[in-house]
Amino acid sequence: MCDIIWCKKCNTVNYLDPYYFWNWEGKVQCAECRTVYYIHMIQGFMYAGPEEKPGEAPDILPLYADKPLDGYTNYLPGTEGRTRPFQCQPREIYLGKPDMVKFSIRGRPVRGWAPQPPSTGFLGSFGFAWDVEKLSPEVWQEYQEKKKRGEVKDW
Amino acid sequence: MREVREIEINSFADTLKVRPWPVTPPPSKEEVMKVYARRKAEEFGKFTEEILGFESVFDKPEALQGLKVLDVGIWRLGNAFASSLLAELGAEVIKVEPPTGDPLRQLTPFGREEYMLKDAERGEPCGLEFIAEMRNKYSITLNLETPEGRELYKKLACHADVIIENYPPGQFDEWGIGYRQISKLNPRVIYCWIGILGQWGPLKDRVSKYGQWMLEPFAQAANSYIHNTGFPQDLLPRGSGGDPTRSGVWIADYAAGEQAAVNILAALYYRDEFSGRGQFIEVTSAEALMEIMDFDISWYGFNRSIKARTGGWDPNLNQYAWNPCKDGYMMIGGQTDRLWYRICMCIERELPQFGRLITEDPFLKEIAARNAFQALVKTYTLTTMWLRENTRAQVEKKLLEYEVAAGPVMTIDEVAEFPHFKYRRWVDIIEDSNYGELMYAVSPNSYQHRTPARVKWMGRPLGYDNAEIYRRYLGLGYEQLRELKEKGVI
């Protein structure tokens, strides 16, 4: 923002960073007394609010808050339940373990595994015709079990 | 200087007219002399203008005159930029293209032909990117896929001091025209190969997903440049975002081109001063950009930290960032106490809250402490509270009164009208015999006392210099060239 929410109840200044809040509408929770305020930001200006919304859930927490009249005591980014964390990390979707696609929807082993198993070797890639049993016994085993369960179909 | 034309905007249609340049004339000598006088620097100002100014550039000798360079590259800008740098310094650069032309000629924004330039003679469209990096170069065509073409190339290579090449790894060697073969014919040749990942090592044959050549964005992606450019998810830009971003230009190729030029000049010095022999050089875009990736790799090695994106904020300094303002973005820089308190004084004049929350905060009084992330959030929140009321021009004026470094984030039309650049003739217009009137940025190497770099012409149509170059170096006459053309060799 571009702006602050100075909570008059507890004299806490909640800082709204310039980028996220430049154009934003929603509810922010005071880090100290947890009062929920509605704000509507347009082009960096607070068009509406802060308006108390008792009993409603906040959309977002401030990144940082402090109390200038109380020796500048503060809540650092990422204080549980008070300020939101700033992890500078890749999004969760990038942090998860990728699903390895080994079987087609018909249950047959497919070529394009991602990521490739270690048995492919350094930078290796299986060709169209390969010996699953020999090259990747773990997938072969899984394939046999699928067959037993009747999950492998011709079409 | 061209005649200054007025622009009058009376209707929407007027806004689509091509703007004249310059809209306003550059500052006069008298005005600039007053600037010099402010710090009693009249004499030094006059001296630098006299020896570095644009007026005498074309009367001076060229540093690399007589140096012959073959630029045998297609698709990428690394080789093109390296040879541009040498060409601006006076080398005779011959761009060897396949008879169909360097594919780079066809690159144009969104594939729109109206953004391409047509040469005066044949009217063939050519992309602006290619033209900009074709400065001072000759264009010849040669089909290296034919044995006859390769023979011609060998003969041509015997005359070259420098060869810059960027074909896939080992391709020229396979054709019998690589460094191993050429250096036997011409031991003094300096042979520079420019690639993305390198022509040796486990990934040397890697192509991009659909089997094309490895192109520049792979270099940006391969060294974490893209990862740490852009906004983090926690601090999104105005709309939404937080994704990694590429550079707006092919920066890895430009970095490689610059590195290649340095390598080539060092090799030339060594050849001419010590060994009398040429050498083989390899430069890759990924590694060239990696070298200028700041401290990312050292930090990772130190404690396994992965440097995050912080958008317009510099993680090492406070204040040192661009933040949104009324009509764009404003860069404000100042880390030391002197600058910090000057910024505070300036903003407090109009936003007293800034004094209460920032200047008086004991935590922010210490240089190292105010670099903490929460201190950045706090400082920039309040700074932007002031910025939102001010345009870039107002902010610049107010901060400069306090001698604080402040610069607006400018768009290219503003750059072209920036009085400083107009005065220095850093932005200029060239009358090109093939492509007409073109605006360009003068080489930064042109502010040299005795041997400044210069731009003599911009683009060249495909094969424009075939007759001249083949006659001069291989003694081929018009009839022979016609035969070669019919056979598809040139």
| CB–CB contact B381 A123 (8 Å) | no
Within this chain, do residues A82 and A119 fall inside the same structural domain, yes or no? no
The token pair at A74 is: 């503060």
Task: Choose, out of B224, B234, B310, B395, the residue to mutate when testing the contact with A (most A CBs < 10 Å).
Answer: B234
Tell me the nearest-neighbour CA distance from B198 into chain A, angstroms.
16
Range 354-373 of B in CB contact (< 8 A) with A: 356-357, 360-363, 373
Interval B154-160 mean pLDDT: 97
Q: Which residue has the tokens 């929770």?
A: A29
Are residues A77 and B377, on separate chains, in Cβ contact within 8 Å? yes
The per-residue pLDDT for A91 is: 47
CB within 8 Å: A66 and B378? yes
Of the listed ranges A19-23, A45-49, A110-114, B338-342, the least confidently predicted one is A110-114
Claim to verify: residue A81 and residue A113 sit in the same structural domain: no
Report the pLDDT averaged over residues B288-317.
84
Higher pLDDT, B364 or B16: B364
Q: How many C-beta neighbours within 10 Å does residue B300 have?
A: 13
Q: What is the pLDDT of residues B440-470, one digit of tens each?
A: 999 889 999 999 999 999 999 999 999 999 9
Over residues A67-82, mean pLDDT: 91
User: pLDDT tens across B77-109, in order?
Assistant: 999 999 999 999 999 999 999 999 999 999 998
Is residue A45 a part of any domain in this protein?
Answer: yes
Q: Which CATH number fits domain B68-291+430-487: 3.40.50.10540, 3.40.50.1820, 3.40.50.170, 3.90.1150.10?
A: 3.40.50.10540
The answer, yes or no, to whether the previous bond of A109 is cis (omega within 30 of 0) is no
The reply to whether residue A18 touches residue B203, judged by beta carbons under 8 angstroms, is no
CB contact under 8 A, A89 and B238: no
Cβ pair A68:B309 closer than 8 A? no
B103 in reach of chain A (CB within 8 A): no
Domain ranges of chain B: 68-291+430-487, 320-410
Among B residues 111-150, those touching chain A with beta carbons less than 8 Å apart: none
Query: Among partner residues B239, B308, B377, which is closest to A17 by beta-carbon distance?
Result: B377
- Amino acid, single-letter form, for residue B157: A
Instruction: Categorize the per-residue pLDDT at A92 as very low, low, confident or very high, splitting at 50, 70 and 90.
Output: very low
Q: What percent of chain B has pLDDT over 90?
A: 67
Tell me which of A1, A88, A89, A93 to substitute to probe the interface with B (most B C-beta atoms closer than 10 Å).
A88
Domain end, chosen from A42, A62, A89, is at A89
> Does B308 sit within 8 Å of A88, measured CB to CB?
yes
As given in the structure block, the two tokens for residue B196 are 């993305």
CB B166 within 8 A of CB B194: yes
Q: Is residue A64 part of a domain?
A: yes
Question: Tell me: the pLDDT tens digits for B256-278?
Answer: 999 999 999 999 999 999 999 99
* Secondary structure (3-state) at A1: coil
What is the model's pLDDT at position A1? Answer: 44
Calculate the average pLDDT of chain A: 81
Residue A153 lies in a domain: no
| Contact between B242 and A17 using a beta-carbon 8 Å cutoff | no
CA–CA distance, B330 with A45 (Å, rounded to integer): 17
Residue B156 neighbours by CB distance under 10 Å: 21
**What was the pLDDT predicted at B240?**
56
pLDDT in tens, B391-404: 999 999 999 999 99
Instruction: Let me know: does A9 contact A61? Beta carbons within 8 Å.
Output: no
Alpha-carbon gap: A13 to the closest alpha carbon of chain B (Å): 9
Q: Residue range B375-393: average pLDDT?
A: 93
The confidence band for A19, taking pLDDT boundaries of 50, 70 and 90, is: confident
Tokens 């509270």 found at: B385
Min CA distance, A58 vs chain B (Å)? 17
Residue A155 maps to a domain:
no
The answer to whether A86 contacts B356, with C-beta atoms less than 8 Å apart, is: no
Residues A101 and A128 in one domain: yes
CA A114 from chain centre, in angstroms, equals 22
Query: To the nearest whole angstrom, how far is the Cα of A65 from the nearest Cα of chain B?
Result: 8
Tokens of B244: 């990694």
The secondary structure of B407-438 as a DSSP string is: EE---HHHHHT-HHHHHHTSEEEEEETTTEEE
Chain B residues closer than 8 Å to A45 by CB: 388
- Is B337:B368 a contact under the CB 8 Å cutoff? no
Residue B330, phi-psi category: left (phi > 0), alpha (psi -120 to 50), beta (remainder): beta
- DSSP assignment string, B67-81: -EEEEE--S-SHHHH
Where helices occur in B76-230 by DSSP H, the ranges are: 78-88, 128-132, 147-157, 171-174, 179-185, 216-222
State residue B1's pLDDT score.
42
Asked if residues B165 and B191 have their Cβ atoms less than 8 Å apart, the reply is yes
Query: How many Å apart are CA A109 and CA A135, to the nearest integer?
Result: 13
Work out the pLDDT band at B41, boundaries 50, 70, 90: very high
How much is the pLDDT for A155?
65
Count residue pairs from A and B with Cβ separation < 8 A: 95
Q: Which of A15, A22, A91 sits opposite B324 (nearest CB)?
A: A22
Arithmetic mean of pLDDT, A47-62: 92
Residue that finishes a domain, picked among A49, A64, A89: A89
Q: Which of B224, B410, B255 is closest to B330 using CA atoms?
A: B410
* Token pair in block for residue A91: 């999004």
> What is the separation, in whole angstroms, between the first and last Cα of chain B?
41
Q: Which residues span the domain enclosing A119?
A: 97-148
Of A15, A18, A72, the CB nearest to B324: A18
Which pLDDT score is estimated for B258?
96
Could you tell me if A48 and A102 lie in one domain? no
Whether residues A63 and A32 fall in one domain: yes
Q: How far apart are CA B451 and CA B62, in angstroms?
A: 5
Q: Model ipTM?
A: 0.70
**Between B315 and B50, whose confidence is greater?**
B50
Nearest chain B Cα distance for residue A141, angstroms: 31
Residues A76, A7 share a domain: yes
Contact at 8 Å (CB) between A130 and A102? Answer: no
Residues 6+ apart with CB under 8 A from B111: none
Environment class of B304 (CB within 10 Å of its CB; exposed 0-12, middle 13-18, buried 19+): exposed
Name the closest residue on chain A to residue B355, using Cα atoms: A68
pLDDT-wise least confident of B30-44, B143-157, B224-238: B224-238
pLDDT at B237 over 80: no
If you average pLDDT over residues B114-119, what whole number do you get? 91
Mean pLDDT, residues B45-70 taken together: 94
Do A84 and A111 lie in one domain? The reply is no
Cis peptide before B232 (omega within 30 of 0): no
Rounded Cα distance between A16 and A21, Å, is: 6
- How large is the average pLDDT for residues B325-350? 92
B293 pLDDT tier (thresholds 50, 70, 90): confident
pLDDT digits (tens, 9 = 90+) for A97-143: 556 677 777 788 776 565 555 555 544 444 445 677 877 788 889 99
Binary contact (B388, A43; C-beta < 8 A): yes
Q: Are residues A43 and A72 in the same domain?
A: yes
CATH topology (fold) of B320-410: formyl-coa transferase, domain 3 (3.30.1540)
A18/B380 touch (CB, cutoff 8 Å), yes or no: yes
Residue B212 has pLDDT above 70, yes or no: no
Whether B231 sits inside 8 A of A123 (CB atoms) is no
Residue B348 has pLDDT above 80, yes or no: yes
Distance from CA of B365 to the nearest CA of A (A): 13
User: What sections of B271-319 are H helices per DSSP?
Assistant: 285-291, 296-303
- Do the Cβ atoms of B285 and B260 come closer than 8 Å? no
Kindly list the strands in the beta sheet with B162-165, ordered across the sheet, starting from the edge strand earlier in the chain: B137-141, B92-97, B68-72, B162-165, B190-195, B280-284
Q: Does A44 share its domain with A120?
A: no
Q: Write down the pLDDT at residue B22.
A: 85
Residues in chain A: 155
Contacts of B222 (CB under 8 A, 6+ apart): B196, B197, B286
Closest residue in B to A41 (Cα–Cα): B238
Could you say which residues from 41 to 70 on chain A have a Cβ atom under 8 Å away from some Cβ of chain B? 43-45, 63-64, 66, 68
Domains in chain A: how many in total?
2
Q: Would you say residue A125 lies in a domain?
A: yes
Inter-chain CB proximity B374 and A64 less than 8 Å: yes
Could you tell me the pTM of the whole model?
Answer: 0.82
Structure tokens at B107: 């690159």
What pLDDT is recorded for position A96? 53
Tokens of B391: 């345009």
Distance of CA B17 to the CA centre of its chain: 28
Residues 109..138 of A with a Cβ closer than 8 Å to B: which?
A: 122-123
Contact B218, B208 (CB under 8 A): yes
